[in-house]
Amino acid sequence: MNKSALEALYTSVKGTKKGDYTDNTWNAFQTALNNAKKVLNDSKATQKQVDSAKNTLDSAYKGLKKKPAPTVNKTELQALYNQVKSTAKGDFTEGSWNNFQTALSNAKKVLDDSKASQTQVNNAKNSLDSAFKGLQHKPKPSEYAVTVRHMNRQTGTLLKEEHVSVKAGTSYTAKARTDLTNFEAPQYQVNGNETQTQTINTNTTFTFYYDEVFLVEVKARPNKVSDTDPNIQELYNYSKSYPVVYGQSITIEAPMFTNFVLDPRESSSNTVTLNNVTSNQGINFAYTHQYNVTVNHINVDTNAVLSTETQTVYEGDSFSTSWKNMTDQNYFLCRNDDSSVTVDKNGQRVINNVDQNRTITFKYKNISLSDLNNYVRQKELAWLNSYRQQNGVAPMQFNDIVQQAADIRAKELQVSFSHYRPGGGTFQDLLESLGC
């Protein structure tokens, strides 16, 4: 009789637990297990009974079947979770909010757990629903804090901040400021609306943004004007500032003064344009006096004005003008007799450092050709006789040859006004060439 196979099988399966096996398969296994034990203990059992008990136990063990897993319905829990998961903390009390967060986290855990039981699902749903409905708002205050911020739009710098308490539910109007200034800019201009209005139901912040406003300072200064000028202080005292918003452009027109004119020597234009202003700027216009210089050409004998012209000259400049060649009208220039007027190497009359209205007078003497000829005859004869006397020779008197030489020399002088003849030599040479 061989029971070893049955005994080995019995030993290996006898510790099996019922767990979640179906009742039918478990009962069949228990019957086969008990029968195997009975046969093992029966000393009179036949080999056939032993083999049958083994086969029955083996078949029953292999036939154990687990109960089907119960179906868990998470639909309601998922719907509730989706509905409340985005709830913001807002002004809920800390206690009710913390309870809600705990229930929300547990619901998410159960939803993600594939092995969660229906009981766990139901409990998670009920806890979440209760926690959500149990959220409590903090008691609303009777007043809220209102903050008004004034910001530099270019740099983001906080320029000023104001705080005020406002009764809950009332309308509050914040106003932009017009008195802002700091090291970044001398002035500021609000960018946008000058007021903001809102009904206050919570702590509220109003923000105004400002553009930097810079100053363009315009001044006047004298140029080549004497410090003793009675009106010069008018220039020194002038100062005017123009505001310019950050990044904008401005065109400044030179101011006008009764006693001065804009000096083109220093200020080439009466307007100055500044583009993309990002800092304080200064503009200085130069001013001076403008004088008239009148140039007269007159007949020295009659004081009749032959011609006149007037030119403008800025203070401190020099003025020069040329005489007129009017020999075709028998007018010959007289020498300058005005000590305040100089004569340069080209014969021009010059006034240096003009500081008032001035007049330059060219004087001309009207001399006819016959008068000039007689004058030249007399002068040349006087020069000749002076030369003859220096050499111990008797003076000459006019004769035909002397007359002819004087006429020729007079015509030459009329053209060149030179003591020397055009081809060289003097009146004496001319006389000698004519046989005198």
| 90 exposure class (CB count in 10 Å sphere: 0-12, 13-18, 19+) | exposed
- pLDDT for 387 equals 77
- pLDDT for 105 equals 96
Helix (H, G, I), strand (E, B) or coil at 217: strand
Query: If you average pLDDT over every residue of the chain, what do you get?
Result: 88
- pLDDT for 20 equals 84
The residue type of 346 is: N
- Which H helix or E strand runs over 190? strand 187-190
Q: Say how many residues make up the chain.
A: 436
**pLDDT category, 123, cuts 50, 70, 90?**
very high
- pLDDT for 408 equals 76
Q: Are 189 and 131 in contact (CB under 8 A)?
A: no
- pLDDT for 297 equals 96
**pLDDT category, 369, cuts 50, 70, 90?**
low
- What's the mean pLDDT in 358-370? 86
**Tens digits of residue pLDDT in 266-315:** 999 999 999 999 999 999 999 999 999 999 999 999 999 999 999 999 99
- pLDDT for 435 equals 44
Residue 163 has pLDDT above 80, yes or no: yes
- pLDDT for 345 equals 78
d(C-alpha 66, C-alpha 17), whole Å: 12
d(C-alpha 111, C-alpha 342), whole Å: 114
- pLDDT for 436 equals 40
**Tens digits of residue pLDDT in 78-102:** 999 999 999 999 889 999 999 999 9
| 364 exposure class (CB count in 10 Å sphere: 0-12, 13-18, 19+) | buried
Domains, in order of start, for the chain: 3-63 (1.20.1270.90), 74-134 (1.20.1270.90), 140-288 (no CATH), 291-366 (3.10.20.320), 369-434 (no CATH)
DSSP letter, residue 401: H
**Tens digits of residue pLDDT in 235-246:** 999 999 999 999
- pLDDT for 399 equals 66
Residue 260 has pLDDT above 60, yes or no: yes
**Tens digits of residue pLDDT in 32-72:** 999 989 988 988 889 999 899 889 989 989 998 988 877 88
Helix (H, G, I), strand (E, B) or coil at 59: helix
Residue 348 has, within 13 A of its CA and on its CB side, a CA count of: 10
**Tens digits of residue pLDDT in 210-230:** 999 999 999 999 999 999 999
pLDDT over 70 for what percent of the chain?
Answer: 90
Residue 336 has pLDDT above 80, yes or no: yes
- CB-CB neighbours of 28 under 10 Å: 17
- CA nearest 313: which of 274, 368, 364, 350? 350
Output the pTM of the full model: 0.53
- What's the mean pLDDT in 191-217? 96
- CA nearest 279: which of 248, 252, 254? 248
- pLDDT for 239 equals 97
Greatest CA separation for the chain: 208
Q: The tokens 């000459």 sit on which residue?
A: 396
- pLDDT for 262 equals 97
**Tens digits of residue pLDDT in 404-429:** 776 776 666 655 555 556 666 665 55
Residue 434 has pLDDT above 60, yes or no: no
